[in-house]
Amino acid sequence: MGVGQSTEHMGHTGTPEHLSQVLAERFATKCFTPLELTHFKDNFFSRAIDQGGIKYWNEKILSDFLGIPDSSDSHCPLDAGPVIFRMVSYLGAFPFQNTLAPSVLTFEAMVKVAVLLTERYGKVLRRARKDRIKLLFGSLADVGRRDVGGPRGEEDVHKETDDSSAAKSRVTGFEIDAPANDDYEDEDEDDDDLALAALESLDAIDVFKHDSRIDKKVYEARISVATFRRLLMLLIVIAPLKSLESVKTYTSDLNEARMESVRTEADTILAAFSIEDSDGGIGYQSFANITSTALPYLFDPLTPLFEHLLFSKNLDLTQKSGSDATVTDTIEKPPDGPRSSPSTIMLSGSFESTILKSSVVSHLSFFLSSSTANVNLLRGNMRLHPVFSTAAHGSSLTSFSHNVLTWNAGTLLLLEGVVSESSEQGEGMITLGAYLPQPWKSAPLSHSPTKPSDSSALPCLFELSPKHQLLQGNPAPSVQKPNAPVAYFSTSTGIAIGCQIPPPSRSQHLKPMPLGAGSLTIDASLESATFYVSSIGHNGVFLPPATTRSPSEQTVKRQIDIFTLEIWGLVPEPSDASSAEPRQSAVELQRAKWEFEAREAERRRNLNLKAGAGDSAMEGARWLLETAGLIGDRPGRGGGSI
């Protein structure tokens, strides 16, 4: 029994259409401020089409208002307008997708869309992001859609609005939202009152769950690869978008080179969903698993995009109190000020990155959080300062230790190379990285027992291409051992991330060993690396990746010839945007340390340990320098670790 059927005995006021309208009214008053609602109304009604007394938006109005390119825009190779319109038409029917989707984009429908896509759903979704993922999947799934009575597109919406009574009638909707498991309806004796109870408490997700119970039809539904790729390309392009910033800032200069980079990143993300095993599309389980764990911030760009609905440039708020707001201009204008781009996250320094293209920065923002807040890298107060690059500083561990071990903050390691022929998966370009939120010269990573799930303090190991995968840091206190630091540096064995460090030996230099689900080792010449990933193992620094793997891929070990190795320092942006002093102070302090290290190195070169001194004096001087950690690789010191 569906919600519409269970409430028919209540009369007209119990129909899904009426309940949906009441819910939208509650959303508007509970989730928006009066000022935001005023702007929202002006944006909607000043552009709405009026047919038969029904005011609504069509695809062109929606795309033009948001600045989303579609096939009619010959100047932009993106064509995401139809995808966004499809998503909005589905979400506008919340929580009755079974009976009302796809929805006519009336004011009430757009209110619900804005609540769901601007992350104001905390008051209406009990499980917040998890339920949002379910809604987003339904809005994108276009395989298995019902064709009863022919396809229902924008033309059908227009025809419906010619007659107000037709606009209020029920529609067939999507097959994945059909009520199911009706054999178990007797288990819920209160189903008939569920919709009204949910409306009273604003716990609308219960209505949604009742209207679209998941059964095998949901698991058989698929998001087509073409649809998802178009959305991914849009998300990559607008990832740096800020509230009220014009989308055209990022879509107006998409030349072929930029588009090729965007397509590459989109394909590496698509590869994470194991499309080759998904019957031509992306299933719900894969979608929910990857987006919730390996790409937790993937849909974040939709928030500032739809926040445009809450600000109208038509309203002149400078008028005197008590006067009516007037429409002064209906043309969208880009915000004043300098043009921004993803590259602004990178501060100037000793080198320019050959890895961090703008599309790669967008990719990173889909899963990396700011160390100061649980928001993605681009939305948080974080900047990247160039610390070390083999292209600029050479493949020298001395240069690495001078630049990296003196950086007194977290770092981002990026590695680009080619998989060698001797590796299990053959040749091919690969890009890897590690997010290390603590300085290299600190004690092994530890976590407060009161905040074991604080993801902003956890490191991670990741692969950007050819297939996105993420190995999150293990929050279990039991894995935090002195012989298993997050990152380790030694002049004899090189760099080790996520490895078990053998005890010191005077007779030989034992190499670090992989531990748990993943590790990365880089040899002392900084010319080759070994990337180890396992789908099992919870006793190491990193947890197994969420990416689905076949039994033959439970453990993958790849030897890599390094082209470029880069280390970027994490620099918090000042909380006061008008003042950059805290950030400048951190960078200046670091530069002072580097200058001091350079002077000390010069002094050590001029120190003649043999001049006028015996062997004992020379050994004493060397012992003093080694004790200070300035030269050598004494057992137990290793050079540095996290």
pLDDT over 80 at 497, yes or no: yes
**Better pLDDT: 479 or 37:** 37
Taking 3-state DSSP, the helix, strand and coil percentages for the chain, each rounded to the nearest 5, stand at 40, 15, 45
Query: Which range, 37-46, 182-191, 548-557, is most confident?
Result: 37-46
pTM of this structure = 0.79
pLDDT over 60 at 348, yes or no: yes
Q: What is the pLDDT of residue 606?
A: 66
Q: What is the pLDDT of residue 379?
A: 85
Retrieve residue 612's tokens: 């006028």
Name the phi and psi angles at 376, rounded to 5: -70, 165
**Residue of 228, 239, 233, 469 whose CA lies nearest to 361:** 239
- Return the beta strands (E) in 28-102 as ranges: 49-51, 54-56
CA 376 – CA 240 distance, rounded (Å):
10
Domain ranges of the chain: 16-144+192-308, 375-443+456-573, 586-622
Q: Which of 162-166, 188-192, 511-515 has the lowest mean pLDDT?
A: 188-192
Q: How many CB atoms lie within 10 A of CB 304?
A: 18
| SS3 at position 434 | strand
Q: What is the residue whose two structure tokens read 């129909």?
A: 15
CA 156 – CA 246 distance, rounded (Å):
31
Q: What is the pLDDT of residue 120?
A: 83
| SS3 at position 355 | coil
Mean pLDDT of the chain: 75
Query: Which range, 39-53, 360-374, 450-464, 573-587, is most confident?
Result: 39-53
CB neighbour burial string for 430-443, b if at least 16 within 10 angstroms, e if fewer? bbbbbbbbbbbbee
Retrieve residue 8's tokens: 């028919």
CA 162 – CA 137 distance, rounded (Å):
31
**Better pLDDT: 612 or 289:** 289
594 pLDDT band, cuts 50/70/90, is low
| CA-based end-to-end distance of the chain | 57
**Better pLDDT: 379 or 228:** 228
**Residue of 175, 162, 152, 166 whose CA lies nearest to 102:** 152
According to DSSP, residue 188 is labeled -
User: Stretch 269-280: mean pLDDT, rounded?
Assistant: 76
Provide the percentage of residues in the chain whose pLDDT is more than 90: 36
CA 35 – CA 46 distance, rounded (Å):
17
pLDDT over 60 at 198, yes or no: no
Residue 566 bridge partners (DSSP): 389, 414
**Residue of 376, 432, 435 whose CA lies nearest to 239:** 376
**Better pLDDT: 207 or 189:** 207
